[in-house]
Amino acid sequence: MTNLTELNLHQALSGLAAGDFTSTELTQSYLNSIEAQNTNLNAYLVVTGDKALEMARASDARRAVGNVGALEGIPLGIKDLFCTKGVRTTAASKILGEFAPEYESSVTTNLWRDGAVMLGKLNLDEFAMGSSNETSAFGNVVNPWKRKGSNVALTPGGSSGGSAAAVAAHMCLGATATDTGGSIRQPAAFTGTVGIKPTYGRCSRYGIVAFASSLDQAGPIARNVKDSAIMLQSMMGHDVKDSTSLNVAVPDLVAAMANGVKGMKIGIPKEYRVDGMPEEIESLWQQGIAWLKGAGAEIVDISLPHTKYALPAYYIVAPAEASSNLARYDGMRFGARVDGNDLTDTYEKTRATGFGEEVKRRILIGTYVLSAGYYDAYYLRAQKVRARILEDFTNAWTKCDAILTPTAPSAAFGLGEKSDDPIKMYLNDVFTVTANLAGLPAISIPAALDVDGLPLGLQIIGKALDEETIYSVASVMEQAANFSARP
Amino acid sequence: MTQTSVPAYTAFKTARPDQWVKSVTGDWEIIVGMEVHAQVSAKSKLFSGASAAYGGDPNSHVAMVDAGMPGMLPVINKFVVEQAVKTGLGLGAKINLWSRFDRKNYFYPDLPQGYQISQYLYPIIGEGSLEVASEDGSMIMVGIERIHLEQDAGKSIHDLDPNSTYVDLNRSGCALMEIVSKPDIRSADEAANYFKNLRALVRYLETCDGNMDEGSMRADVNVSVRRPGGELGTRCEIKNVNSTKFVGMAVNYEARRQIEILEDGGTIDQETRLFDVKTGQTRTMRSKEDAHDYRYFPDPDLLPLILDEAWVENIRANLPELPAAMKARFQSQYGLSAYDADVLVADKDFAVFYEEVAKGRDAKIANSWMTVELFGWLNKNGKELSQSPISAAALGGLVGLITDGTINGKIAKDVFSKMIESGDEAAVIVDREGLKQTTDTGAIEASIDALMATNPEKVAEAREKPKMLGWWVGQVMKATGGKANPAIVNEILKGKLGIE
């Protein structure tokens, strides 16, 4: 069998359907690919080889009797923030110890329902807090991409760095990821992959280790727009186990890809030009505009005036929720525990040892902004900003159908380059946090390589529940960009 | 918004002078407000499908979300919401169609999530009121400030092992209603009666079983004292008082403690105190300095709770008869006094029992047999009505025999005792032992004639002193083995002795 990992997800589905190969063979190819590369890239924290082959054989058996799901036999990687029954789930934190949940997240349940195969659990920033994957307690992921003529190890972005690297390096056909402030889209941009965060409430949060509940949303990272559409369709859907899950029908995203952009209005927000943004990104943005114009879209200038307050608001709301969400990691019922002299000492030792620096920083910030005397000035004000940002978008939708922006203000940077400066790191989320604060769907697609030969992404933000338009636009852009570079 | 939970105390009425605490330095007035935690009667918990039943092996009623497991999410139990609305309607309170759940953050091993989901700023139920008897027999209205829904915590067990604390999460996540009164209570009796009436109400509504032994209802009692009509004093909160009697005792002790301190020139520290049931005293649990900053904020895992007005109205239309209405009905339908009706409606079990006893029988006789004879026996034997050896139907049978003249009251007492001993029905006992009342006037006359013949001096005496009639009735009853109808005996005696 020639290299099956060269096939993308929808090609693999066709091959499986045609009987060219089995899921067992396909899965074994990916296990081999992981075996060959993971030592260098550190994308997988756990490889569930036996389970993968067992699932693949079961898939082959189903296919033999004509019982074929939408992802039948497709080997996927799972971000280690999704609880997987009986499989160690770490959130890339030491504090979870050897925790292996007795339950399965709703998103992964949906994937298995549709026939997918689990290869293993993917590395991430600890509790999804980070933009470079360097906060993982199990070591950073390495971006399979390198600068031209350089061997400097680069970040795959974060927090879904393991997912993005694994997809880019063909260590899976697609991966689940989560996005709280850009954690799907920024890594996708850094690795030349497609990452979408759907509308808040589209994917159930049940069984996903919570970071910031009002912002967290699952989505796929895939090699191309169509693979992304197939995966997202499977992941989405109403779930009574998540009160914030939306009770709406799942749209046909693959069909929406064929709709084109003729007559569509694409908004260009003037506030997304930031100081110090490389010229290349600005020109890529212009290139994207030209592609859409060429395909018949109308380009309109719009204003999202509260954009500059988004990042500060995000770094209040997200840590506030996180400080409460992470209170359960107290060493009492599960996970790691360090015994102290008394209860308080045990709490302190457990949490001081179990959490990494970035997580501690955010717990402290979150605790501070919710404290008596500071609540109004920080948390409440940030919530007001959040309402203004949503209002900005609501106003924009009177002028346009979708918004085009860069995904990140830079290409992948070197590991260690920003890790000593949290503010610099946080600035990476400047274009992505607004969609989380407003609950809107947004995709990042690879558009070009920069001067160093690193991928750059463009972001399309859509109206709430209008993933279909996003896929229409993304498909047009994908064809125009014809991005075929490989790490 | 502020993060303190001190309600805005406004419009304080002054206690009646008879409620003032007299002291050497003058009079004092007691101000009380109460927060009652009532566990909502429901099969499952506030945000999980785990059983909310009392008891069970430790940690056997625990869903993953109750244990605070990673990635687990709360989902509101609609029935619990209905129970809270029902309680609100029973208190004539405003039902807030929009309410919200907040997180109250603190660390403790029996709080698995590291926060309690509660309703801080926007409770499901707003202002209402409850009518309560004061010690002088008058009725006062105690305002209800709010009712909110919240999760119960688990239980820490410290005495199983000298070095470890064990945690039982069966209670973790069970639904509680926190019913907050306005500071409208002015005495220990009013406080006790408020708690008693509130318990009666939730039991009528079947929204809380009111079972104090199982901790289904417990009160946090806020007490302060002041000079009548004067400036408000600093309050102390007495936590987890779990009976009507203890509420009264706690208020009395605490008020006296505060008065003593103030009269000695001291000041009251705002603090949380515990009531010791053994000593009847309160003692410091934690001072204000130890107060937590709970960092309340809206729970992002839950949407605001939005109620449909028609749904609320449907609950209102289907409310059961409540104590106040039932009391009025008992007075008009059964001709009972306000006092008697009050005793009967004080507990739903009493009222239901009574209506069965009184059905088709003399309502007043039914009342006295239930509240005097049966309650008397139960009290003496330390039993609850639910443990009564005589069922409502059986007691009704006895009352029926009295009502239709089959037996008289004196015989009835013997029959009552025999019912308790044997468990037999009254009619069976009366038949078996031939206790049927004699209404045969000929037999009664003959027995009177015989007595008159043997006691001529008493005949003369009775004609002088009509009060002697009692002695004569006693003699006749004795002679007839107690079975003579006392009314007929009276009648015939009066005629024969010539007493008017």
Residue A457 CA to residue A302 CA, distance in Å, equals: 21
Across A23-27, B77-81, B293-297, B399-403, least confident range: B399-403
Q: Are residues B158 and B113 both part of a single domain?
A: yes
Count Cα neighbours of B177 within 13 Å in the Cβ-side half-sphere.
Answer: 31
Of A243, A332, A372, which has the smallest distance from its Cβ to B293's Cβ? A372
Give the nearest chain A residue to B111 (CA atoms).
A328
pLDDT band at B53 (very low <50, low <70, confident <90, very high): very high
Pairwise CB contact (< 8 Å): A375 & B69: no
Q: What percent of chain A has pLDDT over 90?
A: 96
Of A243, A333, A380, which has the smallest distance from its Cβ to B76's Cβ? A243
Q: Are A162 and A183 in contact (CB under 8 A)?
A: no
Structurally, chain B folds into a number of domains equal to 3
**Chain-centroid distance, C-alpha B88:** 18
Query: B346 pLDDT exceeds 90?
Result: no
SS3 B340: helix
Q: In this predicted structure, what is the pLDDT of residue A92?
A: 98
The string of pLDDT tens digits covering residues A308-322 is 999 999 999 999 999
Across A52-61, A298-307, B411-420, least confident range: B411-420
Mean pLDDT of A130-141: 97
Mean pLDDT of B205-232: 93
Pairwise CB contact (< 8 Å): B295 & A324: yes
Q: Are residues B198 and B334 both part of a single domain?
A: no
Q: What percent of chain A has pLDDT over 70?
A: 100
- Chain B: closest CA distance from residue A108 (Å): 13
Pairwise CB contact (< 8 Å): B295 & A209: no
Mean pLDDT of B432-452: 82
Pairwise CB contact (< 8 Å): B2 & A372: yes
Mean pLDDT of B17-21: 92
Mean pLDDT of B214-226: 95
Pairwise CB contact (< 8 Å): A327 & B73: no
Among A23, A136, A183, A475, which one carries the catalytic annotation? A183
| B3 is a domain residue | no
- Chain A: closest CA distance from residue B205 (Å): 29
Across B15-19, B67-71, B89-93, least confident range: B15-19
Pairwise CB contact (< 8 Å): A324 & B115: yes
CB pairs under 8 A between A and B: 109
| B6 is a domain residue | no
Q: Are residues B216 and B112 both part of a single domain?
A: yes
SS3 A19: coil
Q: Are residues B362 and B264 both part of a single domain?
A: no
Q: In this predicted structure, what is the pLDDT of residue B3?
A: 37
Of A103, A243, A379, which has the smallest distance from its Cβ to B74's Cβ? A243
Last residue of a domain, one of B279, B312, B345: B312
- For residue A209, the chain B residues in CB contact (below 8 A) are 70-71
Instruction: Identify the structural domains of chain A with CATH numbers, from first to last.
Output: 4-258 (3.90.1300.10)
In 3D space, the residue among B306, B366, B314 whose CA is nearest the CA of residue B340 turns out to be: B366
Residue B251 CA to residue B238 CA, distance in Å, equals: 9
- For residue B154, the chain A residues in CB contact (below 8 A) are none
The string of pLDDT tens digits covering residues B20-47 is 999 889 999 999 999 999 999 999 999 9
Query: B385 pLDDT exceeds 60?
Result: yes
Q: Are residues B302 and B195 both part of a single domain?
A: yes
Of B68, B167, B301, which has the smallest distance from its Cβ to A244's Cβ? B301
- Chain A: closest CA distance from residue B9 (Å): 21
Among A29, A79, A204, A245, which one carries the catalytic annotation? A79
Last residue of a domain, one of B409, B433, B457: B433
Pairwise CB contact (< 8 Å): A332 & B301: no
Q: The dihedral of CA B91, B97, B102, B108: what is its sign? A: positive
Across A5-19, A424-438, B7-21, B290-304, least confident range: B7-21
A343/B contact by beta carbon, under 8 A: yes
B5/A contact by beta carbon, under 8 A: no
The string of pLDDT tens digits covering residues A106-132 is 999 999 999 999 999 999 999 999 999
Q: Are residues B292 and B427 both part of a single domain?
A: no
Across A283-287, A415-419, A461-465, B261-265, least confident range: A415-419
Phi and psi (nearest 5°) for B98?
-125, 120
Residue A135 CA to residue B421 CA, distance in Å, equals: 78
Q: Are residues B121 and B146 both part of a single domain?
A: yes
Where is A477: in which H helix or E strand?
helix A467-481
Pairwise CB contact (< 8 Å): B67 & A333: yes
Q: Are residues B251 and B340 both part of a single domain?
A: no
| B481 is a domain residue | yes
Pairwise CB contact (< 8 Å): A370 & B300: no
In 3D space, the residue among A125, A107, A128, A180 whose CA is nearest the CA of residue B73 turns out to be: A107
Q: pTM to 2 decimals? A: 0.90
Q: B435 or A104: whose pLDDT is higher? A: A104
- Chain B: closest CA distance from residue A55 (Å): 24
For the question of residue A472 being annotated catalytic, the response is no
- Chain A: closest CA distance from residue B29 (Å): 33
Residue A73 CA to residue A64 CA, distance in Å, equals: 12
Q: In this predicted structure, what is the pLDDT of residue B289?
A: 64
| B4 is a domain residue | no
Question: Which structural domain range is residue B468 located in?
Answer: 441-497
- Chain A: closest CA distance from residue B34 (Å): 25
| B12 is a domain residue | no
Pairwise CB contact (< 8 Å): B1 & A376: yes
Q: In this predicted structure, what is the pLDDT of residue B11?
A: 54
Pairwise CB contact (< 8 Å): A243 & B301: yes
Q: Are residues B264 and B366 both part of a single domain?
A: no
Q: Are residues B299 and B391 both part of a single domain?
A: no
| B469 is a domain residue | yes
Give the nearest chain A residue to B70 (CA atoms).
A209
The residue written with tokens 């941009």 in the block is A189
Q: In this predicted structure, what is the pLDDT of residue B482?
A: 80
Mean pLDDT of A430-454: 97
Mean pLDDT of A157-173: 98
pLDDT band at B9 (very low <50, low <70, confident <90, very high): very low
Q: A319 or A428: whose pLDDT is higher? A: A319
Across B246-260, B397-411, B481-495, least confident range: B481-495
Of B1, B71, B302, which has the smallest distance from its Cβ to A210's Cβ? B71
Mutation to test the B interface, candidates A121, A242, A243, A437, most B Cβ within 10 Å: A243
- Chain B: closest CA distance from residue A247 (Å): 13
Q: Are residues B184 and B134 both part of a single domain?
A: yes
Which of A45-49, B441-445, B481-485 is modeled with the greatest confidence?
A45-49
B300/A contact by beta carbon, under 8 A: yes
Mean pLDDT of B152-160: 93
Q: In this predicted structure, what is the pLDDT of residue B47?
A: 98
Per DSSP, A251 falls in state P
| B63 is a domain residue | yes
Q: In this predicted structure, what is the pLDDT of residue B7?
A: 42
Mean pLDDT of B274-279: 92
Query: A1 pLDDT exceeds 80?
Result: no
Which A positions 213-232 lie with beta carbon below 8 A of chain B?
213-214
Query: B398 pLDDT exceeds 90?
Result: yes
| B2 is a domain residue | no
Among A29, A59, A93, A159, which one carries the catalytic annotation? A159
Task: Work out the burial of residue A285: count CB atoms within 10 Å of its CB; fewer than 13 is exposed, 13-18 middle, 19 or more buried.
Answer: buried
- For residue B71, the chain A residues in CB contact (below 8 A) are 82-83, 101, 103, 105, 205-210
Q: Are residues B176 and B257 both part of a single domain?
A: yes
Q: In this predicted structure, what is the pLDDT of residue A427?
A: 86
Of B64, B293, B295, which has the smallest distance from its Cβ to A103's Cβ? B64
For the question of residue A159 being annotated catalytic, the response is yes
Query: A409 pLDDT exceeds 90?
Result: yes
ipTM, 2 dp: 0.96
Last residue of a domain, one of B433, B451, B472: B433
Q: In this predicted structure, what is the pLDDT of residue B290?
A: 67
For the question of residue A324 being annotated catalytic, the response is no
Of A82, A91, A321, which has the smallest distance from its Cβ to B300's Cβ? A321
Mutation to test the A interface, candidates B151, B301, B305, B306, most A Cβ within 10 Å: B301
Residue B76 CA to residue B78 CA, distance in Å, equals: 6
Mean pLDDT of B372-396: 93
Helices (H), A147-252: 161-168, 185-191, 225-235
Mean pLDDT of B172-195: 97
Pairwise CB contact (< 8 Å): A243 & B303: yes
Q: What is the DSSP string of B396-441?
A: HHHHHHHHTTSS-HHHHHHHHHHHHHH---HHHHHHHHT-PPB--H
The string of pLDDT tens digits covering residues A337-366 is 999 999 999 999 999 999 999 999 999 999
Q: In this predicted structure, what is the pLDDT of residue B410?
A: 83
